Amino acid sequence: MHKAVIGLQWGDEGKGKIVDYLSEDFDLVARYQGGNNAGHTVIVENTTYKLNLIPSGVIRGKPCFLGQGVVLDPEHFLNEYDQICQKISNPKIYLSSNISLILKYHKHLDKINESLLTGENKIGTTAKGIGPAYQDKVGRKSIKLYDLKNLSYVEEKLKIIKKFYDPTLIHFGEEPINIKECIDFLRTFTSKIGNLIIDNSLIKNEFSLKSILFEGAQGALLDLDHGSYPYVTSSNTVSSNIVIGSGLQLDYKTIGIFKAYATRVGNGPFPTELFDSIGDYIADKGVEIGTVTKRKRRCGWLDLVSLKYSCQINRVSELCITKVDVLNDLKEIKVCKSYQLKKYEDINFSDSNYLNTIQLLEDDYDIFPSWGDISEFKSYNELPDNLKNYITFIENYLEVPVTIVSLGPERNQTLLK
């Protein structure tokens, strides 16, 4: 059976580690959306792997596929691919020929877009050109990987793009599009990784009867249509986009991943955010620094209201809770079960103006006692009752079973329930 690993919060839930853990039992690991604004950190036997585009299944030597829903920065991919090749012998990586490219001018446009916003109106984008690249995809101006077979055609396409974007770039003090520089770079890029580019049909023919693990990027609450708009990413992160973004018409079961608390990078609603020493403690203990942005993440208590919504829109059949070890030493742990005593059915999670006005009441939380150090436990049954009670409360609220518990960053710090 095919499976999908989906982050249920605002990203950074630990998808990379869990995909690495699960991928041993799959024949292919596929990514279906996002760009190098995703950051997955995996630690295996004292070796740290930082991945932005390539699925973390590559660490186990599994074939990995980037589907057509991904936008790809060629410069970044070359660097990431080179780093992986230094650690892993002959990685098997396939790129859908239908992928849209992120080019230099997309990054300049991203910078311009963010500069026009002020204060809390800023999205907090990574400025890596992902948004403008998706805009070009919708606007039918993308340079696709399959276009690289004919650079003369790409050059003609860039002449039209240059006429469209140069006035904006020049007006805001950014350099105009340099067609020759772009073509020269794409020629070098193609010479280095052209053999990785394949038609979707080749993946379908080779793997449709085998087991596939789909790796999500960002979190479901950042989904372009279902998240807290406009503080969202530029693609659909929910599981229903898998078929479109991968090009693989397959059934799958969804594993939803969430932290034992909540974090968010950038601006946008965050009802359970902590502004006190506890929030600072969680950030420090959990090393809550954006893998891509390098910014300190905002931290707060676990939010079951938004998590219930996320489970619904992703058709989640099982859950994985991560970073429970971060809360070990706290005297008490809070869990949000309602917004001003309203449950998830009454909330519009795409309405940022509404979500920003929410002031949670004391009765919106349940409080749990600490479970202490859990670093030495090797099975779920050994875990302290306080932690088990915490997990059971979550399961009952979400009506979905927790099947995986992550106690730390290492691969072997993972328990099956």
Active site residue 12: yes
Average pLDDT over residues 29-47: 85
231 and 344 together in one domain? no
Active site residue 27: no
pLDDT tens digits, residue range 119-167? 776 777 778 999 999 999 999 999 999 999 999 999 999 999 999 999 9
71 and 149 together in one domain? no
* Neighbour tally for 327: CB within 10 Å: 25
200 and 171 together in one domain? no
pLDDT of res. 99: 98
How many domains does the chain contain in total?
A: 3
62 and 204 together in one domain? yes
Q: Has residue 292 got a pLDDT over 70? A: no
Catalytic residue among 2, 40, 106, 226: 40
186 and 201 together in one domain? no
Name the helix (H) or strand (E) containing 387. helix 385-398
Structure tokens at 323: 């970073």
Residue 359 forms part of a structural domain: yes
pLDDT of res. 123: 72
Closest Cα to residue 216, out of 23, 5, 405, 2?
Answer: 5
10 touches 219 (CB < 8 A): yes
71 and 127 together in one domain? no
186 and 207 together in one domain? no
- Residue 127: give the domain boundaries: 100-192
What CATH number has the domain bearing residue 341?
3.90.170.10
Q: How large is the angle between the packed helices 151-171 and 179-193, nearest 10 degrees?
A: 130
Catalytic residue among 12, 20, 110, 136: 12
Average pLDDT over residues 1-18: 94
- Identify each DSSP E strand in 104-252 by its residue range: 197-198, 212-215
What CATH number has the domain bearing residue 23?
3.40.440.10
Residue 251 forms part of a structural domain: no
Residue 252 forms part of a structural domain: no
pLDDT tens digits, residue range 50-93? 889 999 999 999 999 999 999 999 999 999 999 999 998 899 99
Residue 23 forms part of a structural domain: yes
Q: How many percent of the chain have pLDDT more than 70? A: 98
pLDDT of res. 125: 76
Confidence of residue 238 (pLDDT cuts 50, 70, 90): very high
pLDDT tens digits, residue range 384-412? 999 999 999 999 999 999 999 999 888 88
Task: Specify which residues 339 forms β-bridges with.
Answer: 342
63 and 105 together in one domain? no
Structure tokens at 295: 């910014």
56 and 158 together in one domain? no
Q: What is the pTM of this model?
A: 0.93
Q: How far is CA 218 from CA 2, 14, 293, 405, in A?
A: 20, 10, 13, 20
Burial pattern 233-270, b for ≥16 Cβ within 10 A else e, equals bbbbbbbebbbebbbbebebebbbbbbbbbbbbbbbbb
Average pLDDT over residues 317-326: 97
Q: Has residue 41 got a pLDDT over 80? A: no
pLDDT of res. 280: 94
235 and 330 together in one domain? no
What CATH number has the domain bearing residue 183?
1.10.300.10
